[in-house]
C-alpha cells in the first residue's frame, strides 16, 4: 500500500501516523519510492480495504500502484534541497487563470520533442531552455486540447 506526499513533504505528525499504520497493517517497514510516495510492504489483501480506510481517516493521501496515472514528482525546495520550489517559480510569472494553458503548452511541446522515456528536465537540457520556452510560447497560441 502506498501513501502520497505533497511534493515529497510530510509533517512529523503525518510520518508518525504512517509508522503506526505500517505497524498495524504492514510489516513495520516504510519504503520511500522514486515518485516520493511512502510504501508499506506486506499489507495483506484481506486487510487492504480496512488499511485504506485507516489511511484516509488519518488524513493521508492514498497513492496508486500498477498501470495508472502517476503524480508529478516535485522538488520539495526545502533547506535540504538546493533547488527552489518549481511551483513557486511558475506562480511568480504565470497568472492563475493562465496556468492550465501553460501546462497544456508544456505537455504539447514535451510530447512533440521528447524521445521515448525521456524526462522533461532532460528534454529541456537537450533543447536548451530558450528553445523549449519558444516552443511553449508558440503552443500558447493554440487551443487547449
- Residue 65 pLDDT: 67
Phi, psi of 62, deg, nearest 5: -65, 145
Q: What is the pLDDT of residue 57?
A: 96
pLDDT on residue 109 = 92
Task: Report the alpha-carbon distance of residue 42 to residue 25 in Å, rounded.
Answer: 8
Q: Is the pTM of this model over 0.85?
A: no
Question: What parts of the chain have a pLDDT lower than 70?
Answer: 65-93, 142-145
Three-state DSSP at 30 gives coil
Domains, the chain, ranges and CATH?
2-62 (3.30.70.3340), 86-139 (no CATH)
- Kind of pairing between the strands at 38-39 and 31-32: antiparallel
Cα 105 from Cα 136, distance rounded (Å): 5
Amino acid at each position: 500500500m502506498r501513501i502520497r506526499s505533497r511534493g515529497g513533504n510530510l509533517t512529523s505528525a503525518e510520518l508518525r501516523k504512517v509508522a503506526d499504520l505500517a505497524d498495524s497493517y504492514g510489516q513495520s517497514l516504510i519504503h520511500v519510492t522514486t515518485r516520493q510516495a511512502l510504501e508499506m510492504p506486506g499489507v495483506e489483501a484481506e486487510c487492504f480495504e480496512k488499511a485504506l480506510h485507516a489511511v484516509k481517516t488519518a488524513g493521508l493521501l492514498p497513492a496508486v500502484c500498477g498501470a495508472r496515472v502517476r503524480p508529478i514528482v516535485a522538488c520539495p525546495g526545502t533547506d535540504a534541497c538546493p533547488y527552489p520550489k518549481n511551483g513557486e517559480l511558475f506562480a511568480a510569472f504565470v497568472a492563475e487563470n493562465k496556468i492550465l494553458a501553460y501546462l497544456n503548452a508544456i505537455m504539447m511541446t514535451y510530447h512533440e520533442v521528447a524521445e521515448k522515456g525521456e524526462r522533461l528536465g532532460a528534454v529541456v537540457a537537450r533543447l536548451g531552455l530558450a528553445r523549449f520556452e519558444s516552443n511553449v510560447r508558440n503552443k500558447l497560441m493554440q487551443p487547449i486540447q
